[in-house]
Amino acid sequence: MTSFFKTTEMYRQGARTLPGRYYTSPEIFAEEVERIFTRRWVCVGRAAELPDPGDYFLADVAGESVIVLRDQGGTLRAHYNVCRHRGTRLCEERRGRLSETIQCPYHAWTYTLDGQLIGAPHMSEVEGFHKRDYPLRSPALAEWEGFLLINLAPDPEPFAQAFAPLIGRFARFNIANLRSARRIDYDVRANWKLIFQNYSECLHCPVIHPELAKLAPYTSGENDLVDGPFLGGYMTITREGGSLTLSGRACGVPVGELPATDLSRAYFYTIFPNLLLSLHPDYVMFHTLWPEGPARTRITCEWLFHADSLSRPELDPEDGVRFWDMTNRQDWHICEQSQAGVSSRAYVPGPYSPRESVPAAWDREFLRAIGHAG
Ligand code: FES
Ligand SMILES: [Fe+2]
C-alpha cells in the first residue's frame, strides 16, 4: 500500500498505466500463470509452519497442488501432490501431520517423506518395474528469512541468483526468528497487479488511509529499490517510539538489533511475483497474493513479532494487527473499485505522476516478465 518518496529520478516522463486487457483477459491471465507463476520463485509460507517431522501444508501455485513438508531428517521439501501410479492427489487436507510415509489413498502406493517410492502393490509382477524409477516429482524449494519459496520451472533460475539483491539485506530485522501472532485471509475481487500497484504508492494515502497518513506522512521517506523485481523504500514514523498501530504507539519490542534510524521508519517492499513485505520497528507484516483469475485474488496477511512481544502483558500486538486489517480493507475496497473501472470500455491507460514511479517500475518489470516489453 505504500512507497512514496522524494526520489523521482526513476520517474520516466510519459509512463502510463496498463491497458485494460491486462486486468480482464483470460488469455493474458493464462500467460501470467505460464510465464510468471510457473517460472518465478513464489512465496508459499513460513518454515515455522512446519516445526516437526511429518508436518505439511498444501500450496496452490499456478494451478498446481504442492505438498510442502518437513521430512524425518528435518529437511524441508516440496513434492507435487500427484501419485506416480495413476496421478491421484496424495493429500486432501490443507495441512496436517504425516506419519513416516505418504500413502496414496487410491491403490496405496507409498512414499517416504523425501519422495522415494517404497511400496507399490503388485508392481513386482510387472517386468522391468523398479520403484527407484518412480519418486515423487519435486519442484525447487528455497528458504529465505524464514519464508519458503517454490519454483515450478524444470530448470529454475538458482534462488541465490534470483534473490541476490535481497539476500542479507534485511538481516537486522531478524525475520527468520519472529513468531506469527495473526494471519488473516482476504478474498479480493481485483486483479493481482492492482494490489501490487496500490501497495507501491502512497499518493492515495491521504484520501484512502487518513489514520495512516497521520502516523507517517506520505511525502516522507525515500525509495531505495527502484528497478527490477524487488521495489520499495521507507516512510518516516513521526511519533517518537511510535509505530503503525491504532494507538500510534509501538505494540512490541524491536524485532531485531535495529539502529536508531530504523526505529522511526516503516519499510515497504514488493517482491515479485507474490510477496509484499512491510517492516516496522516492532513487527513485520507480509502479504502473499494468490491470483485466482483476472478479477480475483486471494490474499493472506500475517503479522510477525519478537517472541518477547507475545509474552509481555503490557504489549498488545493486536494494536498493529487491527491497524493493518483496517488499512488492508481500505486498500482492497479501492482496488475492487479500480478493477470495476479498468474493466470498462471507457477505460484507457492514464498518466502516472512522479509519486507513482514505483508502480510504473513495477509495470515495466511485469511486462518484461510476461514477455510483452516493447
Ligand atoms: S493412483 Fe496412487 S496408488 Fe494408484
Ligand atoms: Fe494503501
From 67, 79, 88, mutation site for ligand 1 pocket: most ligand atoms within 8 A of C-beta: 88
- 315 assigned to some structural domain: yes
- 102 assigned to some structural domain: yes
The share of the chain scoring above pLDDT 70, in percent, equals 97
Q: Which atom of ligand 1 is nearest to the CA of 83?
A: 2
> What residue's CA is closest to ligand 1, atom 1?
86
Q: Which tens digit of pLDDT belongs to each residue from 239-253?
A: 999 999 999 999 999
Q: Which residues of 55-89 are buried (b: 16+ CB within 10 A; e: fewer)?
A: bbbbbebbebbbbbbbbeeeeebbbbbbbbbeeee
Collapsing DSSP states into helix, strand and coil, what is residue 193? helix
Residue with cell 504425516: 98
From 89, 104, 123, mutation site for ligand 1 pocket: most ligand atoms within 8 A of C-beta: 104
> What residue's CA is closest to ligand 1, atom 4?
107
What's the rounded mean pLDDT across residues 184-195? 98
Helix 318-342 vs helix 192-199: crossing angle, to nearest 10: 120
Domain span at 135: 53-139
CA 329 to centroid of ligand 2, rounded, Å: 9
The ligand that comes nearest to the alpha carbon of residue 244 is 2
The ligand that comes nearest to the alpha carbon of residue 211 is 2
CATH number of the domain where residue 96 is located: 2.102.10.10
The pLDDT, as a whole number, for residue 10 is 57
What's the rounded mean pLDDT across residues 127-150? 98
CA 162 to each of CA 106, 149, 214, 228, 272: distance values in angstroms, whole numbers, following the listed order: 39, 12, 37, 11, 10
> What residue's CA is closest to ligand 1, atom 3?
107
The answer to whether the beta carbons of residues 208 and 334 sit under 8 Å apart is: yes
- 16 assigned to some structural domain: no
- 155 assigned to some structural domain: no
Q: How confident is the model at residue 325 (pLDDT cuts 50, 70, 90)?
A: very high
> Does the pLDDT value for residue 6 go beyond 70?
no
CA 82 to centroid of ligand 2, rounded, Å: 39
- 145 assigned to some structural domain: no
Q: Which tens digit of pLDDT belongs to each residue from 39-53?
A: 999 999 999 999 999
* CB < 8 Å & 24+ apart, contacts of 140-146: 140/78, 141/68, 141/76, 141/77, 141/78, 142/41, 143/47, 143/76, 145/170, 145/175, 145/176, 146/46, 146/47, 146/48, 146/175, 146/176, 146/177, 146/178
Domain shared by 29 and 67, yes or no: no
Number of folded domains that form the chain: 2
Domain shared by 271 and 362, yes or no: yes
What's the rounded mean pLDDT across residues 120-125? 97
CATH number of the domain where residue 266 is located: 3.90.380.10
Residues 6+ apart with CB under 8 A from 138: 77, 78, 79, 80, 115
- 298 assigned to some structural domain: yes
Domain shared by 341 and 296, yes or no: yes
Where does ligand 1 bind, in terms of residues with CB under 6 Å?
83, 85-86, 88, 104, 106-109
The pLDDT, as a whole number, for residue 11 is 64
CA 44 to centroid of ligand 1, rounded, Å: 26
Domain shared by 125 and 267, yes or no: no
- 302 assigned to some structural domain: yes
